[in-house]
Copies of this chain bind each other. A is one copy, B any other.
């Protein structure tokens, strides 16, 4: 299985549950957005398998810490995660409550002119809210 090594290299034991989550999240060319509950449903369907909600939380947080996932900063009752961990931006359709990726080529370069003493920029993320 191709994710076993990836997990081991990250110091995470390749358990059945983690491998299932890897399949759902990373076994595709397309990146995508998801919430914890959406992910749990996908696993239950795709692998026809029960998985504990707590395990989904644990694993997603572990993957986020390792840099395989990132949270999308947005005000929503549920937290959104993104399998695209490269710097990129989002549309948020307020009516449909749906996130849409922006390619980097869709947004011109962003210049942050201010500096904060002793701090460095980790990421620059743009959220474009859409209305009808």
A interface, CB within 8 angstroms of B = 71-75, 79, 91-94, 100, 102-103, 105-114, 116, 118-132
Check if B106 sits within 8 Å of A112, measured CB to CB.
Answer: yes
> Which B residues are in CB contact (< 8 Å) with A125?
126-129
Known contacts A107-B111, A120-B132, A122-B129; 15 additional CB pairs below 8 A are A72-B75, A102-B114, A103-B114, A106-B114, A107-B110, A108-B109, A108-B110, A110-B110, A118-B132, A119-B130, A119-B131, A121-B128, A122-B131, A123-B128, A125-B128
Q: Which of A72, A105, A129 has the most B CB atoms < 10 Å from its CB? A: A129
Copies of this chain in the oligomer? 2
> Which B residues are in CB contact (< 8 Å) with A75?
71-74, 79
> Which B residues are in CB contact (< 8 Å) with A120?
130-132
Q: Given the interface contacts A75-B73, A79-B75, does A112 sit within 8 Å of B107 by beta carbon?
A: yes
User: Taking CB as reference atom, which chain B residue is nearest A80?
Assistant: B75
User: Taking CB as reference atom, which chain B residue is nearest A94?
Assistant: B122
